Amino acid sequence: MLYPNNIKKQYHKQINYSNRGMVLEELINKTNHYNLENNLALIYKKPTPIGIVDVSFNNKGKQIDKAYFKEPSTLDYNGLYKGKYIEFEAKETLNKTAFPLKNFHLHQINHIRKVIEHKGIVFIIIKMNNLVYLLKGEDFLSYIDNHERKSIEYNYLKEKGYLLKENYLKGLNFLEIIDKIYL
Amino acid sequence: MLYPNNIKKQYHKQINYSNRGMVLEELINKTNHYNLENNLALIYKKPTPIGIVDVSFNNKGKQIDKAYFKEPSTLDYNGLYKGKYIEFEAKETLNKTAFPLKNFHLHQINHIRKVIEHKGIVFIIIKMNNLVYLLKGEDFLSYIDNHERKSIEYNYLKEKGYLLKENYLKGLNFLEIIDKIYL
The answer to whether position B67 is within a domain reads no
Q: Is residue B42 part of a domain?
A: yes
Over residues B61-120, the pLDDT tens digits come to 889 999 988 888 899 999 999 999 999 999 999 999 999 999 899 999 999 999 999 999
> How confident is residue A49, by pLDDT bands cut at 50, 70 and 90?
confident
Does A68 contact B62 at a Cβ distance shorter than 8 Å?
yes
Neighbours of A21 (CB within 10 A): 11
Handedness of CA B123, B125, B128, B133 (dihedral sign): positive
CA-CA distances (angstroms) from residue B10 to A30, B1, B2, B16, B18? 49, 14, 14, 10, 12
Domain housing B88: 5-46+72-181
Nearest by Cα to A117 from B142, B175, B38? B38
Is residue B136 situated within a structural domain? yes
Q: Which of A50, A60, A80 sits opposite B85 (nearest CB)?
A: A80
Phi, psi angles (nearest 5°) of residue B15:
-60, -50
pTM of the model: 0.85
Average pLDDT, stretch A159-165?
97
Distance to chain B for A138, nearest Cα, Å: 16
Using a CB-CB distance cutoff of 8 angstroms, which residues of chain B are in contact with residue A80? Answer: 85, 87, 115, 118-120
Is B51 within a domain?
no
Residues of B with CB under 8 A from a CB of A: 39, 41-42, 44, 46-50, 60-69, 73-74, 78-85, 87, 111, 114-115, 117-120
pLDDT for B153: 95
Length of chain B equals 183
Find the residue in A nearest to B54 (Cα): A65
CA–CA separation, B67 and A55 (whole Å): 9
Provide the domain count of chain B. Answer: 1
Tens digits of residue pLDDT in B9-46: 444 444 444 444 458 999 999 999 999 999 999 999 99
B82 located within any domain: yes
The DSSP bridge partners found for residue A63 are A56, B68
Give contacts of A79 with chain B, Cβ < 8 Å: 85
DSSP B2-42: -S-HHHHHHHHHHHHHHIIIIIHHHHHHHHHHHHHHTTS-E
In a domain, B57, yes or no: no
Q: Å from B32 to nearest chain A CA?
A: 14
Q: What is the pLDDT of residues A116-158, one digit of tens each?
A: 999 999 999 999 999 999 999 999 999 999 988 899 999 999 9
Question: Which domain CATH number covers B19?
Answer: 3.40.1350.10
Whether B32 contacts B77, CB under 8 Å: yes
Is the model's pLDDT at A5 over the cut of 60? no
Minimum distance, in Å, between the CA of residue A106 and any CA atom of chain B: 16
A-B Cβ pairs (cutoff 8 Å, strict): 97
Return the HEC string of B141-168. HHHHHHCCCCEEEHHHHHHHCEECCEEC
In a domain, B56, yes or no: no
Sign of CA dihedral A132, A138, A139, A140: positive
pLDDT tens track for B139-157 = 999 999 998 889 999 999 9
